[in-house]
Amino acid sequence: MTSQGQSLNSTLDDNCQVNFRGTLLTIDSYLGDQDVERLKFLCRDSIASKNLEKCGSALDIFDYLMAEERLSEEDPSFLAELLYIIKQRVLLRHLRYTKEQVEHWLPGRRKVSLFRNLLYELSEDISSENLKSMIFLLRESIPKVQMTSLSFLAYLEKQDKIDEDNLTLLEDLCKKIVPNLMRKIDKYKREKASQAGAPPVTKETESLHQGEKELFSHSDINQLLGALPEVSWQDEHAQRNGDRATPVSVEMLGASVDTLTSETSTKETAVYRMDRKHRGLCVVVNNHSFTSLSERPGTNKDAECLKRVFQWLGFSVHIYVNVTKGHLEEVLQQFQTHPGHADGDCFVFCVLTHGKFGAVYSSDGELIPIRQIMSHFTAQQCPALAHKPKLFFIQACQGEEIQPSVSIEADAVNPEHVPPSLQDSVPVEADFLLGLATVPGYVSFRHMEEGSWYIQSLYNHLKDLVPRQEDILSILTAVNDDVSRQADKRGKKKQMPQPAFTLRKKVVFPVPQEELLL
C-alpha cells in the first residue's frame, strides 16, 4: 500500500474514533451524578477499584472501558447493557440499538454478572427507611458515614461479607427488613445454579417443583403491562374502588409466554411507568396579589415547598407568580405542547389562589373552571401525556368570606354554596388525579406565615412516604387524616381535603437517592 493510502486509512480511523467519542460525549451529557454512581457500581467487575475511585464522570468510565477493550465503536454492546440496566433506555438510540434489540440478545450476551445484577436490583428496592434499619443492625461493623443503598452493598462486598456464593448476611437482612426481596435472591440462586448445570435443593425450589410458578418481579410486571392495551372497564372499576389486581405469573419457553394465570394468593397491582428519561414537568401557579381580591400571605411558603419536594422527586419545576387569565392561557398552551412530555413519566400542575368550588381565580379576578385547566392535557389535546398520570393539586381560597382567628385565613369555597359532585371537574378519560384542599362546600385554611394546612401536609407526607414506596393515593389518604386533625387556635375550624381521580394504576415515585433536608 502506498504511503498516501496508509495516510488516508489513518485519517478515516481517526475520524471514526472522533465520531464515536462524540457519541459518548452526547450520552454523558444526559447522565447525572446518580447515573454515574450506578455505572461505577455495575463496572466493579470490569474496572479496577483504584481506577473506579478516580472516576468523576461517565466519560472517565468510558475511557477505562475502552482501555480495557470492553467498549469500542465496533462493539458498544456493554455500554448498551449498562444503559438498559440503569433505565436510560432512550439513550440506546445513540448506539444504534433499540430497547427490543437489547432485550433480545441480552440473555445470551450478558456481560454484567448475575451477582452484580442482583445487588443492583436489590439496591433499587431498598428504601431509605429500609437502609437505615439495615445499617442499624450492622452498626458496629459499618462506618458512620452517609450511605446510599448502592454504597452500602458495595461496602459489604468490599469487606468480603457477601459474594456471589455467600449471601447469608444479605438474606438475614432482607428477611428481617424487606422480606419481599427474598424473591429476587431466590431467583438469582436458580439462575446461577442453572448456569452451573444443577438446580439448588431448597424449600423454595421444592415448592416450585410441586407446581408453584415463579412470579415476575415488579419491574417485569410493569414492562409486561405497559405493552398491553388499556385495561378493561371491569379492571379500571376495580382499581378505582381500591381492589388489588390479580397477580401475573408466567412460564416461559425461550421468549414465548404460555400463560398469564396465577397460582398463589400473593397480589400485585399495576404501577405507572417511572423509568423514562425524565420524571416530568411540574407547573406551580402561585397567586399572591390580586387586582380586586385580598392578598394571600403564606402562599410563597407553599410554592417554595412544592418546588423543593417535586424537584427532589425528579421533576423540572416551573413557577409562575400572580398569573392573569391571559397569562394562564399562555402557560396552559405552552405546556400542552411542551416537547418534554415525550420523555417524561408524569405531569404535575399546582394552583395556589382564591377560588370557588370547581373554579379558581386569576390574579385579575377572572374565575376559571378547573375542568377547563385540566382539559388542556387530555390524550386528544396532549398526545404525549396519553396513558401517563396527570396530577393536579388545587389550594383554592375564597378570601375573607369567613372571618378566621388572627393567624389563620379561610382558603377555600363559600360554605353556603351547595356544589355539584367534585367528579364533574375531572375529565372523563383515564389517568387524571385532582387533589382539592377541601371537600365541596367547606373552607380550607392557610397560615399567614407557615403556608396552608393542605400544601404543607402534602409536602411533609411526600417527603416521608415516598421513601417507603407508598403510592400517591395512600399518601393523600395520610394527608386527609393529618389535615382533618388540625384546627385553628380556638379549636373550632377544621378541614378535610378530597381527591377525585380516574387513575388506572398506582402512582409510585422512585425513591430519590438524596434525602430531602428541611
Catalytic site residues? 354, 397
Q: Which three cell numbers stand for residue 409?
A: 385565613
Query: Taking the C-alpha atoms of 95, 98, 99 and 102 in order, what is their torsion angle to the nearest 10 degrees?
Result: -70
The helix, strand and coil proportions of the chain, stated in percent and rounded to the nearest 5, come to: 45, 15, 40
Cβ(369)–Cβ(422) below 8 Å:
no
Kindly state the cell numbers that stand for 474.
395512600
Asked if 507 and 433 count as a contact pair (C-beta separation under 8 A), the reply is: yes
- Give the residue among 328, 407, 409 at the shortest CA–CA distance from 369: 328
The three three-digit cell numbers of residue 238, written as one number? 376495580
DSSP 249: B
Residues 6+ positions from 499 with CB-CB distance below 8 Å: 433, 434, 435, 436, 473, 476
Alpha carbon separation from 262 to 222, 224, 468 (Å, rounded):
16, 15, 27
Q: What distances in angstroms separate CA 502 from CA 45, 221, 257, 274, 507, one per listed residue?
A: 46, 21, 30, 18, 12
Q: In what order do the strands lie in the sheet with 408-410?
A: 408-410, 445-447, 451-452
Nearest 10 degrees: Cα torsion 65, 67, 69, 73: 80
Pairing outcome for strands 390-397 and 344-356: parallel
Q: Give the number of other Cβ atoms within 10 Å of residue 475's Cβ.
A: 23
As given in the structure block, the three cell numbers for residue 328 are 394562564
Q: Which residues pair with 256 in a beta bridge?
A: 253
Interatomic CA distance for residues 383 and 377, integer angstroms: 8
Residue 120 CB-half CA count within 13 A:
21
